Amino acid sequence: MQPLQRDELLAALPDPRLLAGLELLDEVDSTNARLLAAAREGAPGGSVCIAERQRAGRGRSGRCWVSPPGGNLYLSLLWRFSDCAAVARGLSLALGVAVLRVVRQAGASEVGLKWPNDLHWRGRKLAGLLVEASASPKGCAVVAGVGLNLRMPRQAGEGIEQPWIDLETILGGELSRSLLAGRLIGALLGACEQFQAAGLAPFRDEWRGADLLADHAVIVRTVDGREAAAVARGIDGDGALLVEIDGALRPLHAGEVSIRRA
């Protein structure tokens, strides 16, 4: 156990002005659920919730995010945009790049991105993001949750259905959870501010350079369970995944499909 230390976390923030508030909890059902409720009560953009443990952590497509206490990082941030359409055009990819920067800064050079925003190392999942938006007449409240496997006990991960890895195993040494959490929060807040000003453009080339699916055979699965074989061909300007099916190039959007390597 290496409990999070508020002072060390705050000291690691590169730009403290972007942080509107920090809630550090021993336990919560879900950091995303907590901030979505806070957003409905008028919490300002730049609010962050981080927890030692989640009882009901969530991933994409309703999957459970395994969240044992005291080892990994589970955090969410709230940002407010003028409209939800901008969020749909690539925010999750921009935030994936932000997380990638942090883990590469820590020394994990072989980590890449699986569309739209999962981080993998040698075919094993290291981190994932869940971006949820709530529209209102005043704009769009977006909550972005990040789960990063930092120090995952083997027994805690036995029920996970896909290959996984944690950052300390990759690097072969212990890391400061508080320092990494501060860097991660800072990177996410900075990415939100930059995305609000310029959209996906400042992140696009970096995302393409880390694309783990480009030119690989994949299986496309729709929300109703249908599957199709395809070849991934990178992303378009708005962050949609381009896939080649029967010789035709088609854009796919996050939330509509899931993708796996064939």
Q: What are the start-end ranges of the E strands in the chain? A: 21-25, 47-51, 73-81, 111-114, 118-121, 124-136, 139-148, 217-222, 227-235, 241-245, 248-252, 257-261
| SS3 state at 162 | coil
What residues contact residue 133 under an 8 Å CB cut-off, 6+ apart? Answer: 84, 87, 88, 140, 141, 142, 143
Catalytic site residue from 125, 151, 183, 204: 125
Of the candidates 55, 122, 260, 261, the residue annotated as catalytic is: 260
Whole-number Å distance between alpha carbons of 141 and 215: 35
Task: Say whether 63 is catalytic.
Answer: no
The token pair that represents 242 in the structure block:
């381009």
125 belongs to the catalytic site: yes
Considering the candidates 53, 60, 63, 250, report the single residue annotated as catalytic.
Answer: 60
Q: Is 260 a catalytic residue?
A: yes
Q: Residues with catalytic annotation?
A: 60, 125, 260
